Amino acid sequence: MYIDGIKVHEADPEKQPQPPVVEPKPYNAKTAKPPKGAIVLFDGTEKTLKNWTSGNGKPTKWKLVDGALESVRGGGYLQSKQEFGSCKLHVEFATPKEVKGSGQGRGNSGVFLMGQYEIQVLDSYNNITYPDGQCGALYGRAKPLVNASRGPGEWQTYDVTFHRPIFNDEGEVTRKAKFHVIHNGHVIHNNLELSGGTGWRGPHSISEYKKHGDKGPLKMQDHGNPVRFRNVWVIPIKD
């Protein structure tokens, strides 16, 4: 599959250059704080664990560690009980301090809007992979404008404004999804119109838009690496 003439997961830097590495901006505790009216999905406490479930509706197997939710190998996706459409989202993540593996195998997770549109989470600090799968990529669809990654074990932020796709009765997309994503203070997607679903290049993964409902859960991926999340809040946006 090709997007704008470039093969999905193109790794040749002559055909798909690596995003330039930039210095992450200092952690901003102010923008990390949920504004009035935000729905706080996780604040580090056991109390907010009840906002989450596993994909099959059972309690999540992810662990509460030092005020963060940590992915457990084989634990499956972490899924919010509440569902959202267009929204603003703040989420913080840290890839494992102990560096293991390389490429897609190092600190892999992901944040899925409406349960399906993935903003990749990966340890992309001195770890080259195909640009449309590095940290901050809309997986398989769009590489980040810059690589603003912090090092392993350090807390990083995503501040996202997401407009959901809208479909007509025939199942055609009439308004594509739009992502504005700020990673560690740098804009990595500037009101980007998503060309279709995100996913791996295989035929049963990345695909064109398929009609779905107005809302879906927020999901975090278990990709076998103990990636941590904290400070997760959402503000729904009117369409």
Backbone angles phi, psi at 112, to 5 degrees: -110, 115
CB closer to Mg ion out of 85 and 136:
136
Q: How far is the CB of 223 from Mg ion (least distance, A)?
A: 5
Q: Within positions 165 to 224, which residues make up the interface with Mg ion, using CB under 5 A?
A: 221
Is residue 226 close enough to count as binding Mg ion by CB under 5 A?
A: no
Q: How far is the CB of 110 from Mg ion (least distance, A)?
A: 3
Ordered DSSP codes for the chain: -EETTEETT---TTTSPPPPB-PPPPP-HHHHSPPTT-EEEE-SSGGGGGGEEETTSSPP--EEETTEEE--TT---EEEEEEESSEEEEEEEE--SS--S-GGGSS-EEEEETTTEEEEE---SS----GGGSTT-BTTTB--SSB-PPPTT--EEEEEEEE--EE-TTS-EEE--EEEEEETTEEEEEEEEP-S----SSTTTS-S-----S-EEEEE---SS--EEEEEEEEE---
- Which of the ranges 14-22, 100-108, 152-160, 176-184 carries the binding residues for Mg ion, by CB under 5 A? 100-108
Q: How far is the CB of 164 from Mg ion (least distance, A)?
A: 21
Q: How far is the CB of 87 from Mg ion (least distance, A)?
A: 20
Q: How would you class 56 by CB atoms within 10 Å of its CB: exposed for 0-12, middle for 13-18, buried for 19 or more?
A: exposed
- Which of the ranges 56-64, 106-114, 160-168, 210-218 carries the binding residues for Mg ion, by CB under 5 A? 106-114
Q: Within positions 120 to 159, which residues make up the interface with Mg ion, using CB under 5 A?
A: 120
Is residue 110 close enough to count as binding Mg ion by CB under 5 A?
A: yes
CB closer to Mg ion out of 111 and 234:
111
Q: How far is the CB of 122 from Mg ion (least distance, A)?
A: 7
87, 112 contact by CB (below 8 A): no
CB closer to Mg ion out of 167 and 200:
200
CB closer to Mg ion out of 93 and 162:
93
CB closer to Mg ion out of 99 and 166:
99
CB closer to Mg ion out of 135 and 145:
135
Q: Within positions 1 to 60, which residues make up the interface with Mg ion, using CB under 5 A?
A: none
Residues engaged in binding Mg ion (CB under 5 A): 108, 110, 120, 221
